[in-house]
Amino acid sequence: MFVVQTESDDNHSEDDDRELVQRSLQGDTQSFRLLYRRHQQRVRAIFYPLCAGSVLDDLVQEVFLRAWKGLPKFRQTAKFSTWLYRIAWNVASDQRQAAAKGRSQLEVLSQHAPLQQNPVDVMHLHYQDLVQRGLVKLSLEHRTVLVLHDLEEFPQREIAEILDIPIGTVKSRLFHARAAMRQFLEKEGVQL
Protein backbone atom coordinates (compact mmCIF):
# COMPACT_ATOMS: atom_id res chain seq x y z
CA MET A 1 0.00 0.00 0.00
CA PHE A 2 1.15 3.53 -0.61
CA VAL A 3 -0.02 7.02 0.08
CA VAL A 4 -1.37 8.74 -2.99
CA GLN A 5 0.70 11.60 -4.29
CA THR A 6 -2.02 13.87 -5.56
CA GLU A 7 0.31 16.11 -7.52
CA SER A 8 2.48 13.37 -8.98
CA ASP A 9 0.77 13.21 -12.34
CA ASP A 10 0.10 16.90 -12.72
CA ASN A 11 3.46 17.91 -14.12
CA HIS A 12 2.90 16.65 -17.61
CA SER A 13 1.31 19.07 -20.00
CA GLU A 14 -1.94 18.79 -21.83
CA ASP A 15 0.00 19.07 -25.06
CA ASP A 16 1.82 15.86 -24.25
CA ASP A 17 -1.49 14.17 -23.59
CA ARG A 18 -2.84 15.39 -26.91
CA GLU A 19 0.20 14.04 -28.72
CA LEU A 20 -0.22 10.66 -27.03
CA VAL A 21 -3.92 10.64 -27.85
CA GLN A 22 -3.13 11.37 -31.48
CA ARG A 23 -0.66 8.50 -31.62
CA SER A 24 -3.11 6.21 -29.86
CA LEU A 25 -5.67 7.11 -32.48
CA GLN A 26 -3.20 5.90 -35.08
CA GLY A 27 -3.26 2.56 -33.28
CA ASP A 28 -0.05 3.06 -31.26
CA THR A 29 -0.77 1.05 -28.12
CA GLN A 30 2.51 2.10 -26.51
CA SER A 31 1.31 5.69 -26.46
CA PHE A 32 -1.85 4.52 -24.78
CA ARG A 33 0.30 2.68 -22.25
CA LEU A 34 1.97 6.02 -21.43
CA LEU A 35 -1.42 7.63 -20.99
CA TYR A 36 -2.30 4.81 -18.61
CA ARG A 37 0.88 5.33 -16.60
CA ARG A 38 0.26 9.06 -16.39
CA HIS A 39 -3.30 8.89 -15.21
CA GLN A 40 -3.87 5.52 -13.53
CA GLN A 41 -2.75 6.63 -10.11
CA ARG A 42 -5.15 9.53 -9.95
CA VAL A 43 -7.97 7.40 -11.31
CA ARG A 44 -7.26 4.94 -8.50
CA ALA A 45 -7.18 7.76 -5.96
CA ILE A 46 -10.58 8.97 -7.12
CA PHE A 47 -12.06 5.49 -7.25
CA TYR A 48 -10.89 4.17 -3.93
CA PRO A 49 -13.03 6.38 -1.68
CA LEU A 50 -15.99 5.73 -3.97
CA CYS A 51 -15.84 1.99 -4.39
CA ALA A 52 -14.79 -1.12 -2.57
CA GLY A 53 -11.05 -1.74 -2.65
CA SER A 54 -11.57 -5.31 -3.79
CA VAL A 55 -12.90 -4.19 -7.17
CA LEU A 56 -10.50 -1.28 -7.61
CA ASP A 57 -8.28 -2.94 -10.22
CA ASP A 58 -11.29 -4.13 -12.17
CA LEU A 59 -12.76 -0.64 -12.22
CA VAL A 60 -9.49 0.96 -13.31
CA GLN A 61 -9.25 -1.64 -16.07
CA GLU A 62 -12.80 -0.85 -17.15
CA VAL A 63 -12.04 2.87 -17.29
CA PHE A 64 -9.02 2.46 -19.54
CA LEU A 65 -10.71 -0.05 -21.81
CA ARG A 66 -13.66 2.32 -22.24
CA ALA A 67 -11.20 5.13 -22.90
CA TRP A 68 -9.43 3.10 -25.59
CA LYS A 69 -12.71 2.21 -27.26
CA GLY A 70 -14.01 5.75 -26.95
CA LEU A 71 -10.90 7.59 -28.18
CA PRO A 72 -12.35 8.22 -31.66
CA LYS A 73 -15.20 10.09 -29.99
CA PHE A 74 -12.88 12.20 -27.87
CA ARG A 75 -12.93 15.85 -28.94
CA GLN A 76 -9.39 17.00 -29.46
CA THR A 77 -10.23 20.42 -28.08
CA ALA A 78 -11.21 18.94 -24.71
CA LYS A 79 -8.89 18.09 -21.85
CA PHE A 80 -8.00 14.41 -21.90
CA SER A 81 -7.84 14.06 -18.12
CA THR A 82 -11.30 15.61 -17.68
CA TRP A 83 -12.68 13.25 -20.30
CA LEU A 84 -10.99 10.28 -18.61
CA TYR A 85 -12.32 11.20 -15.16
CA ARG A 86 -15.76 11.54 -16.66
CA ILE A 87 -15.48 7.94 -17.84
CA ALA A 88 -14.37 7.03 -14.32
CA TRP A 89 -17.45 8.71 -12.91
CA ASN A 90 -19.65 6.75 -15.32
CA VAL A 91 -17.98 3.51 -14.27
CA ALA A 92 -18.41 4.44 -10.61
CA SER A 93 -22.08 5.20 -11.20
CA ASP A 94 -22.49 1.81 -12.84
CA GLN A 95 -20.95 0.24 -9.77
CA ARG A 96 -23.19 2.14 -7.36
CA GLN A 97 -24.59 -1.05 -5.91
CA ALA A 98 -21.16 -2.43 -5.21
CA ALA A 99 -20.13 0.86 -3.63
CA ALA A 100 -22.96 0.62 -1.12
CA LYS A 101 -21.50 -2.64 0.10
CA GLY A 102 -18.04 -1.19 0.71
CA ARG A 103 -16.08 -2.72 3.51
CA SER A 104 -15.03 -0.71 6.53
CA GLN A 105 -11.56 0.66 6.09
CA LEU A 106 -10.90 -0.50 9.65
CA GLU A 107 -11.24 -4.09 8.46
CA VAL A 108 -8.76 -3.46 5.67
CA LEU A 109 -6.33 -1.65 7.90
CA SER A 110 -6.54 -4.27 10.63
CA GLN A 111 -5.49 -6.90 8.14
CA HIS A 112 -2.36 -5.02 7.21
CA ALA A 113 -1.43 -3.14 10.33
CA PRO A 114 1.55 -4.38 12.32
CA LEU A 115 0.73 -5.80 15.73
CA GLN A 116 2.71 -3.18 17.64
CA GLN A 117 1.99 0.47 16.92
CA ASN A 118 3.01 3.62 18.68
CA PRO A 119 0.16 5.82 19.92
CA VAL A 120 0.57 8.34 17.11
CA ASP A 121 0.20 5.65 14.47
CA VAL A 122 -2.81 4.19 16.24
CA MET A 123 -4.53 7.59 16.29
CA HIS A 124 -3.68 8.10 12.64
CA LEU A 125 -5.17 4.73 11.76
CA HIS A 126 -8.21 5.54 13.86
CA TYR A 127 -8.71 8.85 12.06
CA GLN A 128 -8.20 7.18 8.69
CA ASP A 129 -10.93 4.76 9.59
CA LEU A 130 -13.21 7.61 10.63
CA VAL A 131 -12.65 9.48 7.37
CA GLN A 132 -13.30 6.34 5.39
CA ARG A 133 -16.49 5.61 7.33
CA GLY A 134 -17.56 9.21 7.00
CA LEU A 135 -17.10 9.04 3.24
CA VAL A 136 -19.07 5.80 3.01
CA LYS A 137 -21.95 7.46 4.86
CA LEU A 138 -22.22 10.14 2.19
CA SER A 139 -24.27 9.60 -0.93
CA LEU A 140 -22.20 8.74 -3.99
CA GLU A 141 -22.88 12.20 -5.46
CA HIS A 142 -21.76 14.06 -2.34
CA ARG A 143 -18.79 11.77 -1.78
CA THR A 144 -17.60 12.22 -5.34
CA VAL A 145 -17.65 16.00 -5.11
CA LEU A 146 -15.83 15.94 -1.75
CA VAL A 147 -13.16 13.59 -3.08
CA LEU A 148 -12.64 15.51 -6.31
CA HIS A 149 -12.56 18.92 -4.63
CA ASP A 150 -11.06 18.46 -1.18
CA LEU A 151 -8.82 15.45 -1.78
CA GLU A 152 -7.89 15.70 -5.45
CA GLU A 153 -8.11 19.49 -5.57
CA PHE A 154 -9.97 19.78 -8.84
CA PRO A 155 -11.38 23.23 -9.59
CA GLN A 156 -15.15 23.42 -9.22
CA ARG A 157 -15.57 24.24 -12.89
CA GLU A 158 -13.77 21.06 -13.93
CA ILE A 159 -15.80 19.00 -11.47
CA ALA A 160 -18.95 20.41 -13.06
CA GLU A 161 -17.61 19.32 -16.43
CA ILE A 162 -16.65 15.83 -15.24
CA LEU A 163 -20.00 15.19 -13.58
CA ASP A 164 -21.99 17.11 -16.21
CA ILE A 165 -23.79 19.23 -13.63
CA PRO A 166 -24.05 23.01 -13.11
CA ILE A 167 -21.35 24.61 -11.00
CA GLY A 168 -24.02 25.72 -8.53
CA THR A 169 -24.85 22.05 -7.94
CA VAL A 170 -21.16 21.36 -7.29
CA LYS A 171 -21.10 24.10 -4.64
CA SER A 172 -24.30 22.85 -3.08
CA ARG A 173 -23.15 19.21 -2.97
CA LEU A 174 -19.80 20.27 -1.54
CA PHE A 175 -21.50 22.25 1.19
CA HIS A 176 -23.78 19.36 2.17
CA ALA A 177 -20.98 16.80 1.93
CA ARG A 178 -18.74 18.84 4.22
CA ALA A 179 -21.54 19.47 6.67
CA ALA A 180 -22.35 15.76 6.86
CA MET A 181 -18.69 14.82 7.19
CA ARG A 182 -18.11 17.40 9.92
CA GLN A 183 -21.19 16.23 11.80
CA PHE A 184 -20.05 12.60 11.59
CA LEU A 185 -16.50 13.35 12.75
CA GLU A 186 -17.68 15.53 15.64
CA LYS A 187 -20.12 12.85 16.70
CA GLU A 188 -17.18 10.43 16.77
CA GLY A 189 -15.32 12.77 19.08
CA VAL A 190 -13.02 14.54 16.63
CA GLN A 191 -12.34 18.17 17.57
CA LEU A 192 -12.12 20.25 14.43
Partner 1 sequence: MSLLPEDDPRLTHFVKQHRPIVPAADPTLEQRIMTLVEKMPRAISSQPSNWQRWRRRGMWLLPTSIAAGLVAISGSQLFLSPQPTETELAELETFIESTWQGTVAEQPTTETEELYPLVGEGAVN
Binding site for partner 1 (CB under 8 A): 1-4, 24-27, 29, 32-33, 36-37, 40, 44-45, 48-49, 53, 56-57, 60-61, 64-65, 68-69, 71-77, 105, 108-109, 124, 127-128, 130-132, 134-135, 146, 150-151, 168, 171-172, 175, 178, 181-182, 185, 190, 192
To the nearest 10 degrees (0 to 180), the angle between helices 56-70 and 80-94 is 130
- DSSP-derived secondary structure letter, 11: S
Shortest Å distance, C-beta 28 to partner 1: 10
Instruction: Say which amino acid occupies 6.
Output: T
Q: Closer to partner 1 by CB, 56 or 93: give it.
A: 56
Shortest Å distance, C-beta 16 to partner 1: 19
DSSP H or E run through 10? none
Shortest Å distance, C-beta 11 to partner 1: 19
In the three-class reduction of DSSP (H, G, I as helix; E, B as strand; rest coil), residue 191 is classed as coil
Residues in CB range of 182: below 8 A, 6 or more apart: 192
How far is the C-alpha of 151 from the C-alpha of 171, rounded, in Å? 15
Q: Closer to partner 1 by CB, 94 or 153: give it.
A: 153
Shortest Å distance, C-beta 83 to partner 1: 12
How far is the C-alpha of 57 from the C-alpha of 44, rounded, in Å? 8
Q: Closer to partner 1 by CB, 101 or 124: give it.
A: 124
